[in-house]
Amino acid sequence: METITLLMGGFEQALTPTNIALAVFGSILGTIIGALPGLGPSNGVAILIPLAFAFGLEPTAALILMTSVYYGAMYGGRISSILLNMPGDEPALMTTLDGYPMAKQGKAGEALALSGLASFFGAFLATIGLVIAGPLLAEVAFLFGPAENFALYAMAFATLGGLASRNQGKAIFAAGLGLSLAMIGLDGPTGSTRYTGGHLHLMEGVDFLVAIVGLFAITEVLMFIEHQGKESAIGIKVGRITAPIKTVWHCTGTMIRGTAIGFIAGVLPGAGASLGSFLAYSVEKRISNKENTFGKGDPRGVAAPEAGNNAAAGGALIPMLTLGIPGSGTTAVMLALLMTMNITPGPLLFAEKPDLVWGLIAALFIANIVLLILNIPMVGIFVRLLMVPSRILMPLVAMVAFAGIYSISGSLFDIGLMVAFGVLGYILRKLGIPAVPIILGILLGNQMEKHLRRALTISDGELAILWSSPISISLWAIAITGLIAPLLLRRYLRPRNQKS
């Protein structure tokens, strides 16, 4: 009953004219961002964070806007996947396997409608899971001391590469780079400076908003410049955007299985929507591919990954809100937003700021309904946006990035640092090194160091305290498994995916 009461209070927060308008605007904008190949939810949220500060949005309103963009981008990623065989982001990759063949068979409208319904199904049930599991996990989090928290952060970094990363070693290198960048600035206990190079601007450390916008938005601009602004074009007729009731009913079990798998993948720190989408498709193919139709335009091959990646998007919010550990790259960016607003996610967040948490959860329900209503009739409009030349799109992205960062700090040094991070991101992208672990390292590095120091202070320098409790032992076991398991499983799983 208490949960229902809190949720009703959340709807009172979310159902204000301003917040409804932000949810609708974020849903539309997120769908557009998700549909444009290469941008994806992480970039969309990163680009909009400076605007949230520029317009002076309150924390609840800013979070509602960002999560609406997040969910909208997860919906929108399917559009270019089905029509162009170009996933809007990595989680939408699996949708291309059967979505594009359906489009070539003249069933583009059916594929778009079915993927929209599967996305709604997965995201809506995942939000219900957030309502149920969020407070429970927050209660469990009170059992964590400094040693357990340090082990939790170590687990987040260890599992960050996961099955979605092509190279576990590169993910670990990126995490180490992020942790190194987090050490820049004043050392709290001693008051001495570390790695500032004598620059006063770095005394307070690297601003993670500068790093995020540089590594995502500016890097994307540089990548488009490299490819000489090639335009996208749609050579497929969409037709009527409806899915036969028989097809929807046939895919119901698929959507249920995909939602369950995706939600669990989302809750795991560092796994995220990519793993949820991949596992949902792989499991469904093993269960349902009796006639060898997967990869040839089977509707279940569209429903499974779409339900999986949208459920994972909802599940990824649970560790972010209750433990302060992002479950995906996009929630890592959202974590930066909360920390910039002096809001510390963790078990106390549900008790200290219930209006923010439950207003956010209520907004997720609203955003899902808005997305379902908007996506099917407005797909034709979103499809036309795929034809926007990159020579127009990318300058707009760069303009928003520069104006947003300058509006926050008013510092040309931060503008230069943002460009430097953009160049770094470009180089890392060319080397196949992911940017998300760097962001996670910058975000969590200081907290990880604080917990380590506190644990060692309590134990008088004895390292054994780091694995002295059942919780910490379990977390270290998961961390080690997260490092080793992908190396062993990737050879078994990826070839099957590539053959699809």
| Cα distance between residue 24 and residue 16, in whole Å | 12
Taking 90 as the threshold, does the pLDDT of residue 156 lie above it?
Answer: no
CB atoms closer than 10 angstroms to residue 457: 12
Three-state secondary-structure class, residue 199: coil
Confidence (pLDDT) at 427:
92
Question: Is pLDDT at 500 greater than 50 in this prediction?
Answer: no
Structure confidence at residue 164 as a pLDDT band (50, 70, 90) = very low
The pLDDT > 70 percentage for the chain reads 78
- Give pLDDT, residue 233: 37
Q: Which amino acid is at 309?
A: N
Nearest-angstrom CA–CA distance, 90 and 463: 39
**Average pLDDT over every residue of 342-368:** 79
Average pLDDT, the chain: 76
Distance, in Å, from the CA atom of 302 to the CA atom of 295, rounded to the nearest integer, reads 10
Length of the chain measured in residues: 500
Q: What is the pLDDT of residue 241?
A: 62
Number of domains within the chain: 1
Higher-pLDDT residue of 390, 429? 429
C-beta separation of 96 from 85 below 8 A:
yes
Domain assignment of residue 139, given as a range: 2-497
pLDDT tens string 309-320: 888 877 777 777
* pLDDT in the model for residue 424: 92
Per-residue pLDDT of 6-33, as tens digits, reads 778 878 877 888 888 888 888 888 887 7
User: For 218-228, how does the pLDDT look when each residue is reduced to its tens digit (9 = 90+)?
Assistant: 887 887 777 66
Mean pLDDT for the stretch of residues 74-101? 72
Residue 295 pLDDT level (bands cut at 50, 70, 90):
confident
Side chain identity, residue 450: K
Does residue 195 come out as left (phi exceeding 0), alpha (psi in the -120 to 50 range) or beta?
Answer: left
The 3-state DSSP class for residue 321 equals helix
- C-beta neighbour count of 282 within 10 angstroms: 20
Q: Determine the pLDDT at residue 231.
A: 40
In the predicted model, is pLDDT for residue 334 greater than 70? yes
Q: Where are the beta strands (DSSP E) in 132-218?
A: 185-186, 193-194
Average pLDDT over residues 446-454: 83
Phi, psi angles (nearest 5°) of residue 29: -65, -40
Give per-residue pLDDT as tens, 236-291. 555 566 667 888 888 888 899 989 888 877 776 555 566 677 778 878 887 877 77
What is the percentage of the chain residues whose pLDDT exceeds 90?
2
